[in-house]
Amino acid sequence: MKIIKNLCDICGTCVAVCPADAIIVSEFEVVINNQKCTNCSNCLKVCPIKAIKEGE
Amino acid sequence: MKNKYDVIVIGGGPAGSVAAKFASENGASVLLLERDREAGIPVRCAEGVSLKGIAPFIEIDKRWIAAQIDVATLFAPNGESAKMHNNGTGLVLERRIFDTALCEEAVKFGVEFVTKADAIDLTWKNGKISGVKINYLNEILEIECDVVIGADGVESRVGRWAGIKTNVALKDIDTCIQYTLSGIDIEENACEFYFGRDVSPGGYVWVFPKNKNTANVGIGLAGHFSHAKGPKKFLDEFIQKRFPNGQKIYTVCGGVTTADTLPEIVHDNIMLVGDAARQVNPITGGGIVQGMIAGSIAGKVAAEAVQKKKFNKKFLKKYRKEWDKKIGNNQKVMYKIKEKVLEMGDEKFNSLVKICQNIPADKFTVKALFSEAVKDDPRLVLEIAKTFVKSKLKLK
Ligand SMILES: Cc1cc2nc3c(=O)[nH]c(=O)nc-3n(C[C@H](O)[C@H](O)[C@H](O)COP(=O)(O)OP(=O)(O)OC[C@H]3O[C@@H](n4cnc5c(N)ncnc54)[C@H](O)[C@@H]3O)c2cc1C
């Protein structure tokens, strides 16, 4: 999964549904660790502003 | 910052600042960490609370009250509505000011508070949590403590670091967008809720006034219904109809869990509070007061743990026990009602609002409304009745 950086509002909703602990939020950005990501696409489905897309 | 405290609280929201205050007030040395430049921003919240809910925690101050709510109107999918009165006992906050006021309160009681301090991991010694690793203005520091309180919001990772499973199912989180709309004309003391598959599947649209011309207008969709269209399109359609001239002076995204409290909220040396523990009312999505209540319990238990030098899970479970007694058991029932509500079609909402029209406005509550929703499930009705008797809340 991949974050569209200039769309992301850094709300952290994606982190709450990630079963793989693959998403990290800081004050400035959200980062998806594709080593850990299992492509379940929960984050993509829940993102309020559709700032997550498939791919690395 | 020192290099050791009794208690470190991660996250300066309502749950964290209250936890920090109670731990400090009861004798512990406490460090409160906030990642952002201040607590309370960005405001990812509709800012509605009950006066009764927050009064035990902070002296009421006009600085952080935008509006007082007398009436809530519920709109069914067919456009019919029913009114609930609550005589000024609902408040719409200015959370930016409110959250900071809570932090100031914590500081008054001796808490050390640091902003721009991002917790990035726990530290371990002999298999036990021994402190917190932080990124403070681009410098990595390790600070020791005996108890960690994770109050790091919906995006929580602190629990995961401790090996606690904190993720929720898609159906147990609402995906939200909210605008603060200005240039509109509304009643200052009335909030509105809109239900229905076309309006907000598995959730609702809210209008919480901040003054005569401005309101928080937002939407939450159940996560598993969100994908195709997403909350923004639903909300924009609603606004086009209801407030065509409204100007979006603030836009924010967010997530609200509508789950039960996590099965595990304590481990050795650690407790989770607030959104991090999923302590949100699964029906209303309200988490401010619940977080403060959880924070107050956890803070007290942390201080007691320090006094008695008992930091194991067994001792910290006192927090869980008290939480369940005060709110947790009630949340469990609310969660079951929510599960039923998720299955409800528009017809059911229409008939519910119809029923509510026949109840005098000052005699029913959101809880009563949703209790009506589960009437055809006798086991659940019984369970609800039991909880309400326990918590001395009246159904109707
Ligand atoms: C759109 C929307 C509308 C809502 N409307 C309402 C409402 O009307 N009424 C209501 O009661 N509730 C509402 N809620 C829920 C409410 O906002 C939350 O339940 C409440 O804020 C939870 O408080 P908290 O202290 O647990 O977490 P938060 O308020 O989220 O605070 C967590 C804090 O931790 C900080 N943090 C996170 N990670 C770290 C880290 N690693 N290191 C340091 N700091 C960190 C964050 O920056 C944040 O300041 C709404 C939520 C949303 C999304």
> By CA distance, what is A16's nearest residue in B?
B167
Query: Looking only at Cα atoms, what is the longest distance across chain B?
Result: 64
B238 Cα to chain A: minimum distance (Å): 16
Site to substitute for ligand 1 among B50, B275, B290, most atoms within 8 A of C-beta:
B275
A29 Cα to chain B: minimum distance (Å): 12
B170-257 fold: D-Amino Acid Oxidase; Chain A, domain 2 (3.30.9)
**Which residue numbers of A have CB closer than 8 Å to B's CBs?**
9, 11-13, 15-19, 21, 24-27, 42, 44-50
pLDDT at B393: 41
Q: Which of B382, B378, B281, B291 is nearest to B338 (CA)?
A: B281
Sheet containing B117-125: order of strands: B117-125, B128-136, B139-144
Residue B24 clears pLDDT 90, i.e. is over it: yes
Residue type at position A41? S
**The two structure tokens encoding residue B323:** 């939480």
Q: Which residue is listed with tokens 């809720």?
A: B193
Residue B42 clears pLDDT 90, i.e. is over it: yes
Q: What is the pLDDT of residues A8-45, one digit of tens each?
A: 999 999 999 999 999 999 889 999 999 999 999 999 99
Q: Which domain holds residue A19?
A: 2-46
Contacts of B310 (CB under 8 A, 6+ apart): none
| H or E element at residue B84 | strand B81-93
The Cα A23–Cα A15 span in angstroms is 6
Q: Classify each residue of B227-236 as buried b or exposed e, where b means 16 or more C-beta atoms within 10 Å of its C-beta.
A: beebbbebbe
The Cα B239–Cα B245 span in angstroms is 9
Query: Is residue A40 included in any domain, yes or no?
Result: yes
Q: Which of A27, A6, A47, A49 is nearest to B115 (CA)?
A: A27
Q: What is the pLDDT of residues B85-138, one digit of tens each?
A: 876 689 999 999 999 999 999 999 999 999 999 999 999 999 999 999 999 999
Domain ranges of chain B: 4-45+96-168+260-329, 170-257, 335-390
pLDDT at B7: 98
The Cα A30–Cα B181 span in angstroms is 27
Query: Is residue A54 included in any domain, yes or no?
Result: no
CATH of residue A35's domain is 3.30.70.20
pLDDT at B314: 98
The answer to whether the CB of B175 falls within 8 A of the CB of B220 is yes
Task: Kindly state if the Cβ of B14 falls inside 6 Å of ligand 1.
Answer: yes
**pLDDT average, residue stretch B45-68:** 96
Query: Is residue A39 included in any domain, yes or no?
Result: yes
Q: What are phi and psi of B375, to 5 degrees?
A: -50, -35
DSSP string, B336-390: HHHHHHHH--HHHHHHHHHHHHTS-GGG--HHHHHHHHTTT-HHHHHHHHHHHHH
The Cα B171–Cα B185 span in angstroms is 35
Residue B61 clears pLDDT 70, i.e. is over it: yes
Report the nearest atom of ligand 1 relative to the CA of B47.
8
Q: What are phi and psi of B7, to 5 degrees?
A: -130, 135
- B176 neighbourhood in chain A, CB within 8 Å: 13, 48
Query: Is residue A53 included in any domain, yes or no?
Result: no
Query: Is residue A15 included in any domain, yes or no?
Result: yes
Q: In sequence order, what E strands does B270-351 have?
A: 270-272
Query: Is residue A52 included in any domain, yes or no?
Result: no
For residues B343, B349, B352, B353, the Cα torsion angle rounded to the nearest 10 degrees is 160
For residues B246, B249, B251, B252, the Cα torsion angle rounded to the nearest 10 degrees is -120
Q: Helix, strand, or coil here: B120? A: strand
Distance of CA B45 from the midpoint of ligand 1 (Å): 8
Q: Give the residues across from B252 on adjacent strands.
A: B178
Residue B387 clears pLDDT 80, i.e. is over it: no
pLDDT at B396: 31
pLDDT at B392: 43
The pLDDT confidence band at residue B8, using thresholds 50, 70 and 90, is: very high
> By CA distance, what is A21's nearest residue in B?
B160
**The two structure tokens encoding residue B254:** 């967010």
For residues B275, B281, B284, B287, the Cα torsion angle rounded to the nearest 10 degrees is -30
Q: Do β-strands B173-182 and B247-257 pair in parallel, antiparallel, or remain unpaired?
A: antiparallel
Q: Which residue is listed with tokens 């607030």?
A: B274
Number of domains in chain A: 1
Contacts of A2 (CB under 8 A, 6+ apart): A32, A52, A53, A54, A55, A56
- B226 neighbourhood in chain A, CB within 8 Å: 45-46, 48
- A15 neighbourhood in chain B, CB within 8 Å: 154-157
Q: In sequence order, what E strands does A1-56 have?
A: 2-3, 23-25, 30-32, 52-53
The answer to whether the CB of B145 falls within 8 A of the CB of B223 is no
Q: Which of B14, B3, B12, B2 is nearest to B291 (CA)?
A: B14
CB-based contact A49 B227, cutoff 8 Å: no
pLDDT at B385: 62
- B248 neighbourhood in chain A, CB within 8 Å: none
CB-based contact A11 B252, cutoff 8 Å: yes
What is chain B's Cα-based Rg? 21
Determine what percent of chain B is predicted with pLDDT higher than 90: 79
The answer to whether the CB of B257 falls within 8 A of the CB of B173 is yes
Q: What are phi and psi of B142, to 5 degrees?
A: -115, 125
Q: Give the residues across from B359 on adjacent strands.
A: none
The Cα B52–Cα B33 span in angstroms is 28
**The two structure tokens encoding residue A45:** 């489905």
B4-45+96-168+260-329 fold: FAD/NAD(P)-binding domain (3.50.50)
Q: How many Cα atoms occupy the beta-carbon half-sphere of B181 within 13 Å?
A: 23
**The two structure tokens encoding residue A3:** 């974050």
The answer to whether the CB of B91 falls within 8 A of the CB of B212 is no
Query: Is residue A56 included in any domain, yes or no?
Result: no
Task: Kindly state if the Cβ of B288 falls inside 6 Å of ligand 1.
Answer: yes
The pLDDT confidence band at residue B190, using thresholds 50, 70 and 90, is: very high
Q: Give B 140-159 residues with CB within 8 A of chain A.
A: 153-157
pLDDT at B395: 36
Task: Kindly state if the Cβ of B45 falls inside 6 Å of ligand 1.
Answer: yes
Whole-prediction pTM? 0.95
The pLDDT confidence band at residue B371, using thresholds 50, 70 and 90, is: low
